Amino acid sequence: MVTFKDFRNNVKPNWCPGCGDFSVQAAIQRAAANVGIQPHDLAVISGIGCSGRISGYIHSYGFHGIHGRALPIAQGLKMANKDLHVIASGGDGDGFAIGMGHTIHSIRRNIDITYIVMDNQIYGLTKGQTSPRSAEGFKTKSTPGGAIEPSVQPLELALTSGATFVAQGFSSDIKELTAIIEAGINHKGFSFINVFSPCVTYNKVNTYDWFKEHLTKLSAVEGYDSRNREEAMRVVMENKGLVTGIIYQNENAPSYQEQVPGYSPTPLVDQNLKMSEQEFNALIQDFM
Amino acid sequence: MLQQLSWKVGGQQGEGIESTGEIFSMAMNRLGYFLYGYRHFSSRIKGGHTNNKICVRPTQVRTIPDDLDILVAFDQETIDVNYKELTENSIILADAKFSPIAPDDCKAPMYIVPFTEIAAELGTSLMKNMVAIGATAALLNLDKGVFQGVVDEIFGKKGQEVVEKNMQAIQQGFDTMAEHLGDRLGEWEIAPADGKHRMFMIGNDAIAFGALAAGVRFMAAYPITPASEIMEYMIKKLPLFGGAVIQTEDEIAAATMAIGSNYGGVRSFTASAGPGLSLMMEAIGLSGMTEQPLVIVDTQRGGPSTGLPTKQEQSDLMQMIYGTHGEIPKVVIAPSTGEEAFYDTIQAFNIAEELQVPVIILTDLQLSLGKQTVEPFDYSKVEIRRGKLVENEAIPEAEDKSYFKRYELTEDGVSPRVLPGMEHAIHHVTGVEHDETGKPSEASTNRKAQMDKRLGKLKHINFKDPIYVNAPYEEADILFVGFNSTRGVLEELQQTLIESDVKVNHAHIRLIHPFPVEEMRSLVAKAKKVVVVENNATGQLANIIKMNVGGHDKLVSVTKYDGTPFLPLQLAKQVKELLTDGNI
């Protein structure tokens, strides 16, 4: 029987005390254990930034890549070995600034991986510049007069990009977050999970207390139907994106891999690389 | 009887010029002739002048000639742009439809043939290409029957009627031309070929085929000229082997996705051209730092920036050797023929796994898109070597959650490679400097040890025949040096010069990095002058040779960067000027 302790390793995170990312790490560990994954069957692929360190803090295979590119690495890995559980993770800068293109196209592509964004509305590791998630007027080192650009709306973005699983969690509510990540792992397709993970050092506006005051739990919204995309969009917009829970899920959409013509039902990594002489000669004939 | 035929068909892009060349070439290929084609085209879908120049010979050919024997013109521009390649012995076949005019200084006679009219009478003017092929057959005294097999293959799917109509078009083209020619019928007959069956393909086909034979099961790529055919081949063939191709959102995704799949243990690659490679530079560094195998094909075209996207150039050399920030071990391979493109691609995948490094397969537009005769590939020469990839069963249980030493310091610098999913091999991978288990580490001693380990791996490269050498002379007047598609033009010029008593050796660099220093040093030592011929402005290969071998006083750099390939006579003139100047 696997427990969350099996996903703990001997590395001490270098996050600031009180950082929201600790809870995301714990929730991933619990969710993986609850789903019954063996540590060696899990791969966590991360980007760059404080959050990017998470792949080194979970006892599983981990790949700490380059800024903004966790998603393509994760998708390549899943294509190579469909038996692995692949979680991509990174910060809001990683996913909504430098890696925004990959975010949208990964959502469209719907490869069966889970993407967790640790959204703190600030650049922490570079010591406090604005993020695409910073609210308009938010003052930082790079926006001393307040952020001018409107912030990216991750949930609306995902819903309009053809997402088959959209959820949002909050670091303070590990129980709900764990349940969301579990559902994301179990979802057959791309699961997009945005997590409000406060930066206690550089973001003095979007604090734990601020989120507690502003967030609405979808489980408390009477009759909310997460299978209805239009309703999901309406509720998200009405609440200015400040909701938690599973916002939308389409359980019937086929994943990318299910639709690729000829794609092997067994993991590609298990294939014999050498083709037969007969196959080889058939390829030669094409050019004769 | 001709020992070589130089044939060109030209017209507006999008009106079937390419397929005219294709059908003619396929028929000649099946007769056992050697072919080498080069397409002139522009970066647009329809319109603009395009032409397809094909050299046909009973013996090996790897370059297009300067001159033309036959020019088939579907518009006036074709004549205006190309007539200077014609001689007194050449001929223009021009479609009557555009009322062709031969320029006053045109040396060749022009025959006006109603290609479009004949085709239209048979049912569709689209078949004007087939009429032109029939007319060509009359000049060459070819049996029309040689086209039957090709026409069956191409039009068979559309039904017997279409096949017959096309054959009729060829027949009528032949007959009409025969009437026009009178006793010149068959004047352009080529010396007979050996009738052997060989492949006819572009370099990109050879690379893609090589990748498939090397066991590639995944490709991630973004379309770009002149690389897209590699992706298109894989899209057609990978489903037969259970694999997949993802057309990504950009080249950064393509390279990093290929890294992810290689990390997962599947041979994977991407292919692009200069602009794409520029975007991939950070990913190449990640591959080098994390020791994940990665193969990238760079099909060079005219740079910088968007440059000349459909034209020949060899100006990515330095970027391929040095590109990415920081210092990583990287291998750059540069095949120069269809055969080498195939076998070197297999070598690339083996080396990428054996050394756990990024490997660049460098080609150029002429090699990638030039359609050429290639000897059938040899299955028995396809060898797959995966280096220190550890079997799952061979890994002992880890104690107390300690990481597997994925970056263990070893004698040759190559560490045992394990894959996600293996039971006792959990470890961390990061582009941050790391220790033997992959944990981030900034300690100076560790930093130096890991740098030395990574960079030292290149010493252990196992690459067969790093230089193609044809060096008949112990003491040569000239050593020609080139890489990629200049192989053919240098081979021809070497023969021409030898016939006029100049002692010429030829070396074509196949492994660009790590540079084969010792092999090159001895070749340079045997020559009075080293003439480095390359399609770029700054003499990049010449500089690489200076850096690695020296010989500055002997080195002569011959460059061309106008977007066109070197031609044998043109290059001969350049080299002879060097000779008469007393330089050699």
Over residues B54-108, the pLDDT tens digits come to 999 999 999 999 999 999 999 999 999 999 999 999 999 999 999 999 999 999 9
pLDDT band at B583 (very low <50, low <70, confident <90, very high): low
Closest residue in B to A111 (Cα–Cα): B246
Q: What is residue A34's predicted lDDT score, i.e. its pLDDT?
A: 98
CA angle, corner B189, sides to B184 and B195, nearest 5?
A: 160
Q: Which CATH number is A158's domain given?
A: 3.40.50.970
Over residues A182-197, the pLDDT tens digits come to 999 999 999 999 999 9
B136 touches B119 (CB < 8 A): no
In chain A, positions 136-165, which contact chain B (CB-CB < 8 Å)? none
pLDDT at B144 over 90: no
Please judge whether A105 and B248 are an interchain contact, meaning their C-beta atoms are less than 8 angstroms apart: yes
Task: Identify which of B222, B237, B227 has the alpha carbon closest to the alpha carbon of residue B202.
Answer: B227
Partner residue opposite A261 with nearest CB, options B218, B239, B283? B239
pLDDT band at B582 (very low <50, low <70, confident <90, very high): low
What is the Cα–Cα distance from A17 to B128, expressed in whole angstroms? 78
Helix, strand and coil percent figures for chain A, each rounded to 5: 40, 15, 45
Give the start-end residues of each E strand in B252-391. Answer: 268-272, 294-300, 331-333, 358-364, 371-374
Q: What is residue B542's predicted lDDT score, i.e. its pLDDT?
A: 98
Number of domains in chain A: 1
Amino acid at B153: E
**How high does pLDDT run on average in chain A?**
97
Q: Is B528 helix (H, G, I), strand (E, B) or coil?
A: strand
Give me the domains of chain B, ranges plus CATH numbers.
5-184 (3.40.920.10), 200-375 (3.40.50.970), 388-461 (no CATH), 468-580 (3.40.50.920)
Percent of residues, chain B, with pLDDT higher than 70: 99
Sequence-separated contacts (24+) of A177-182 with Cβ below 8 Å: A177/A23, A177/A24, A177/A27, A178/A27, A178/A30, A178/A31, A178/A34, A179/A31, A180/A244, A180/A245, A180/A246, A181/A27, A181/A28, A181/A31, A181/A114, A181/A116, A182/A31, A182/A34, A182/A35
pLDDT band at B581 (very low <50, low <70, confident <90, very high): low
pLDDT band at B44 (very low <50, low <70, confident <90, very high): confident
In chain A, positions 2-61, which contact chain B (CB-CB < 8 Å)? 8-11, 38-41, 43, 45, 55-56, 59-61
**How high does pLDDT run on average in chain B?**
95
Q: Alpha carbon A201 to chain centroid distance?
A: 23
Over residues B145-163, the pLDDT tens digits come to 889 999 999 999 999 999 9
Q: What is residue B584's predicted lDDT score, i.e. its pLDDT?
A: 56
Q: Is B10 helix (H, G, I), strand (E, B) or coil?
A: strand
Please judge whether A75 and B246 are an interchain contact, meaning their C-beta atoms are less than 8 angstroms apart: yes
Closest residue in A to B150 (Cα–Cα): A288
Percent of residues, chain A, with pLDDT higher than 90: 99
Determine the average pLDDT of the residues in A150-154. 97
User: In this predicted model, which residue has the larger pLDDT, B519 or B185?
Assistant: B519
DSSP code string of B380-423? GG------SBPPGGGPPPPSTTPPP-TT---TTSPPPB--TT-T
CA angle, corner A148, sides to A145 and A150, nearest 5?
A: 145
User: In this predicted model, which residue has the larger pLDDT, B341 or B397?
Assistant: B341
pLDDT at B558 over 70: yes
Token look-up 């071990």 returns B329
Please judge whether A263 and B419 are an interchain contact, meaning their C-beta atoms are less than 8 angstroms apart: no
* Cβ neighbours of B430 in A, within 8 Å: 55-56, 63-64
Partner residue opposite A269 with nearest CB, options B283, B290, B419? B419
What is the Cα–Cα distance from A144 to A134, expressed in whole angstroms? 13
ipTM score of complex: 0.98
Task: Identify which of B20, B188, B29, B33 has the alpha carbon closest to the alpha carbon of residue B8.
Answer: B20
Determine the average pLDDT of the residues in B294-323. 97
Is the backbone peptide bond immediately before A154 cis, with ω within 30 degrees of 0?
no
Domain that holds residue A229: 4-285
Partner residue opposite A65 with nearest CB, options B423, B426, B431? B431
Over residues B356-411, the pLDDT tens digits come to 999 999 999 999 999 999 999 999 999 999 999 998 888 988 878 899 999 999 99
Partner residue opposite B199 with nearest CB, options A267, A268, A284? A284
Q: Which two tokens stand for residue B101?
A: 């005019």
Over residues B426-448, the pLDDT tens digits come to 999 999 999 999 999 999 999 99
Please judge whether B426 and A59 are an interchain contact, meaning their C-beta atoms are less than 8 angstroms apart: yes
A137 touches A40 (CB < 8 A): no
